[in-house]
């Protein structure tokens, strides 16, 4: 038995949607008591840190219904079933920004909300960015606006809470850290 494992006594499926599903598990706690856990299943996602030749960060602004506002984020999207994250990353970069790249380098993966969801985000760094000749089509319910900003501008966007999500805050901090590490060498 794993440390602090919570054994499933019962699983109650509540909802199966296009993107997420919800179930409530009744669990046996390490002390023998029972409790319930509300659990969201999500297919997982990718996010792409993409820098242009003049060192600008490629971002997209889009409306987030869950927050009833737009956010400025790094390009991102959900995994299709069975799809390799690297392939999803290239597809989302191409569709959302009109850029493609020679290579996608895996930077890190992390769970976004381990308290209630299994969503994982795989973050990639796009190497050798170049504009596509013809822009690809977005999903038909997707509307995004392209932005290209310097690292300093991105940090100001965090201050102003227009960049306001975990993966994008991570990405901006990652680039600042890389810049400092490169300067040190």
Phi then psi for residue 92, to 5 deg, are -65, -40
Kindly state the tokens that stand for 178: 């890389």
Q: Which of 137, 140, 152, 159 is catalytic?
A: 140
Does 5 help bind a second copy (rule: CB under 8 A)?
Answer: yes
Cα dihedral 73/74/79/83 (nearest 10): 170
Which residues ranging from 141 to 160 are in contact with a second copy (CB under 8 A)? 141, 143-145, 158
How far from 172 is each of 1, 66, 153, 154, CA to CA, in Å? 40, 23, 10, 7
**Interface size with a second copy, residues (CB under 8 A):** 72
15 strand-pairing partners: 22
Task: State yes or no: is 140 an active-site residue.
Answer: yes
Angle in degrees, CA 31, 37, 40, rounded to 5: 150
Phi then psi for residue 154, to 5 deg, are -60, -40
Pick from 102, 133, 140, 185: which binds a second copy (CB under 8 A)?
A: 140
Q: How far is the CB of 165 from a second copy (least distance, A)?
A: 5
Which residues ranging from 157 to 176 are in contact with a second copy (CB under 8 A)? 158, 164-167, 169-170, 173-174, 176
Kindly state the tokens that stand for 53: 């030749």
Q: Which is nearer to a second copy, 9 or 128 (CB)?
A: 9
Pick from 2, 32, 53, 133: which binds a second copy (CB under 8 A)?
A: 2
Does 55 help bind a second copy (rule: CB under 8 A)?
Answer: no
Quick note: the x/- pattern for a second copy over 84-123, rule CB under 8 A, is ------------------------xxxxxxxxxxxx-x--
Q: Which residues are catalytic?
A: 140
């Amino acid at each position: 038995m794993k440390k602090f494992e919570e054994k499933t006594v019962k699983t109650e499926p509540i909802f199966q949607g296009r993107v997420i599903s919800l179930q409530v598990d009744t669990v046996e706690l390490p002390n023998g008591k029972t409790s319930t856990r509300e659990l969201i299943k999500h297919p997982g996602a990718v996010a792409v840190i993409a820098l242009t030749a003049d060192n600008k960060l490629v971002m997209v602004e889009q409306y987030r219904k869950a927050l009833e506002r737009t956010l400025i984020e790094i390009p991102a999207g959900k995994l299709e079933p069975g799809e390799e994250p690297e392939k999803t990353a290239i597809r989302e970069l191409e569709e959302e920004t009109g850029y493609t790249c020679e290579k996608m380098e895996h930077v890190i993966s992390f769970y976004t909300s381990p308290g209630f969801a299994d969503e994982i985000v795989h973050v990639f760094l796009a190497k050798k960015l170049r504009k596509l000749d013809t822009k690809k089509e977005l999903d038909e319910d997707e509307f995004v606006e392209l932005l290209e900003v310097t690292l300093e501008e991105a940090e100001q966007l965090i201050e102003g809470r227009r960049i306001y999500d975990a993966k994008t805050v991570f990405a901006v901090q990652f680039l600042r850290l890389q810049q400092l590490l490169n300067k040190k060498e």
